[in-house]
Copies of this chain bind each other. A is one copy, B any other.
Amino acid sequence: MALMTSEEYLQSLGKMKPTVYVDGERVGNFVDHPLIRPAINITAKMYAMAQDPDYEGVLNTTSHLTGRKISRFNHIYQSTEDLQRALSMLRVTNQAVGACNMRCLTKELINPLYDTTFEIDRECGTDYHRRFKDYLIFLQDDDRMASAGVTDAKGDRRLRPSKQFDPDLYLRMVDKNEKGIIVRGAKMHQTGALTAHYLNVVPTTILDEDEKDYAVAFATPSDAPGLIHVFGRHALDERRYTGADLGNIKYDMHETMIIFNDLFVPWERVFMCGEYRFTGPLVENFIANHRYSYGGCRPGTFDVLIGAAKLIAEYNGIDRASHVREKLTEMSFLNETMWACAVAAAVQGVKKPSGWYQPDKLLANVTKLHVTSIPHELGKLAIDLAGGIVATLPSEKNLNNPEIGPLVRKYLRTKAELPVEDRMRIIRLIEFLVQGVTIPADYFGGGGPATQKMIIERETNFEYKKRLAKIIAGITEEDSENKAGKMMIDGVVAGCCDAYGRESCPLTQRS
């Protein structure tokens, strides 16, 4: 089957019947709901871009399983170049929608699951990898989107899943039979859940032997009976009802809390069931893959913010002031830092035995840790350039009132030749990008900063660096056993160079 057009995508969603609640009320036609449609518009844009010859090489690629043309969002990385191309795709697509591109959620879980199912089968003689590849070919060939269910309700964060006062605070299998398994629990913050055809689900944390029932991974249609989507609110969501003062006029974020109310999953869609020892590798795979991605998509969104900041500076007549130029330059500097860290994580990616390329774990976490602070800084700088009016601008609806419309227009104008609407819309866009949903999402998508620090600490080769210091300080002599040369190569291999996947390490030229 060929790749879907955006119309075919919308039709495919129209046939689905998910259970959806918004603000306490059951939603019938979710596709046209004013709070959900803007997110569906985003995904439809992804399908449209894939049809555009200009984006051919960006959004599409060839399946390593079938040799057929597929969406790059549904691809398993086969090289460090694939890792880099994914970043370019993320930046371009976020630029196009000025928000999350939604569809990248598919690649976030298919990549780690591909690798982990391979490893489980290899060690346990199970059948997961075959099942997963069948499912993957189905997604690829039908050009489907699948969102990603990771974060559990979690309850008391001090306590392990099995020690919570309610055992369902982490999603778990509550029953199984010969046809499949029954799962119960909830997944929070499900970006793109209602723009997707399928939902992939994995555990959110590393599990112990007595937590086998929590060690489940699977896929399910987004409208399966037993799944309930509860709409998550954003700061500016209600404006979508009136359609005014939107900032981003066509696109918006969308997250749901998904409740698994004793959902049935057939065995063919179960990819882990009790193999708790593989939750560690699965989480690691997910983390590396998800966290490096933020260095692709966020710079795309913030390209839009930087453009808006430059425009509002021009509209206000301050664009040549040196402090304004300094701030715009700072915005670019910070934005490119996120990008550069992700590119380096991609370049230093490593090939796993399954054939999948994993981004460098250390640099993937360095990337994401920047994404927990740089967006705040960018938001602050954009507000600095736009002024306090971001928080006090009257509604654009006033312009249509015959009595005050002309007066509001008169006083919000800054230059004779500049339409007032342009200035108001750019201010609203900055409000959308800064006051809207993005920043907390940046903070916590893929885990808050404390979790990145944990990995950075672990992936840093402190022992190697200590030995360097001892030699330089004259505490340890270099000798045959403790040779600087060897140590350094080893150290760099551990620290960055096995990045090159051992086949082509530029340090050693050995493979």
Interface presence of A52 (CB below 8 A): yes
Interface presence of A440 (CB below 8 A): yes
Interface presence of A12 (CB below 8 A): no
How does the 8 Å CB contact mask read for A367-379 relative to B, with 1 for contact and 0 for none? 1011011001001
Interface presence of A355 (CB below 8 A): no
A482 vs B501: C-alpha distance in the bound complex, in angstroms? 42
Interface presence of A2 (CB below 8 A): no
CB distance from A501 to the nearest CB of B (A): 13
Set of chain B residues within 8 Å of A232, measured between Cβ atoms: 391-394
CB distance from A466 to the nearest CB of B (A): 4
Q: A233-B394, A235-B435, A448-B387 are in contact. Are A55 and B407 (CB under 8 A)?
A: no
Those of A340-395 within 8 Å (CB) of chain B: 340-341, 343-345, 347-348, 362-363, 366-367, 369-370, 372-373, 376, 379-380, 383-384, 387-395
Interface presence of A69 (CB below 8 A): no
Q: A84-B506, A340-B344, A473-B426 are in contact. Are A466 and B311 (CB under 8 A)?
A: yes
Interface presence of A174 (CB below 8 A): no
Q: A259-B411, A453-B333 are in contact. Are A159 and B310 (CB under 8 A)?
A: no
Stretch at the interface among A112-120, A132-140, A214-222, A412-420: A412-420
Interface presence of A316 (CB below 8 A): yes
Residue tally, chain A, CB below 8 Å to B: 185
Stretch at the interface among A94-102, A194-202, A263-271, A273-281: A94-102
A448 vs B307: C-alpha distance in the bound complex, in angstroms? 21
CB distance from A204 to the nearest CB of B (A): 13
The answer, among B98, B245, B380, for a CB contact under 8 Å with A472, is B98
Do residues A506 and B235 form an inter-chain contact, with CB atoms below 8 A? no
Set of chain B residues within 8 Å of A158, measured between Cβ atoms: 317-318, 320
Do residues B431 and A235 form an inter-chain contact, with CB atoms below 8 A? yes
Do residues B304 and A469 form an inter-chain contact, with CB atoms below 8 A? yes
Stretch at the interface among A122-130, A141-149, A282-290, A488-496: A488-496
How does the 8 Å CB contact mask read for A468-486 relative to B, with 1 for contact and 0 for none? 1110111100000001111
The answer, among B156, B247, B398, for a CB contact under 8 Å with A316, is B156
Complex: chain B residue closest to A84, CB-CB: B506
Q: A235-B431, A444-B387 are in contact. Are A23 and B395 (CB under 8 A)?
A: yes
How does the 8 Å CB contact mask read for A234-250 relative to B, with 1 for contact and 0 for none? 11101101101101111
Set of chain B residues within 8 Å of A484, measured between Cβ atoms: 96
Interface presence of A508 (CB below 8 A): yes
Do residues A472 and B249 form an inter-chain contact, with CB atoms below 8 A? yes
Copies in the complex: 4
CB distance from A504 to the nearest CB of B (A): 8
Do residues A366 and B337 form an inter-chain contact, with CB atoms below 8 A? yes
The answer, among B228, B316, B329, B492, for a CB contact under 8 Å with A457, is B329
Interface presence of A29 (CB below 8 A): no
Do residues B231 and A394 form an inter-chain contact, with CB atoms below 8 A? yes
Do residues B259 and A466 form an inter-chain contact, with CB atoms below 8 A? no
Do residues B440 and A390 form an inter-chain contact, with CB atoms below 8 A? yes
Set of chain B residues within 8 Å of A322, measured between Cβ atoms: 322-323
Stretch at the interface among A3-11, A103-111, A163-171: A163-171
A97 vs B188: C-alpha distance in the bound complex, in angstroms? 31
Residue among A230, A231, A412 with the most chain B CB within 10 A? A230
A231 vs B393: C-alpha distance in the bound complex, in angstroms? 8
Q: A232-B391, A233-B393 are in contact. Are A317 and B159 (CB under 8 A)?
A: yes
Complex: chain B residue closest to A347, CB-CB: B347
Q: 24 pairs across A/B with beta carbons < 8 Å?
A: A22-B395, A24-B395, A85-B507, A91-B496, A92-B488, A92-B492, A153-B411, A155-B414, A157-B414, A188-B389, A188-B392, A189-B389, A232-B392, A233-B393, A311-B466, A323-B450, A332-B362, A336-B362, A337-B341, A372-B384, A376-B379, A380-B443, A391-B440, A421-B475
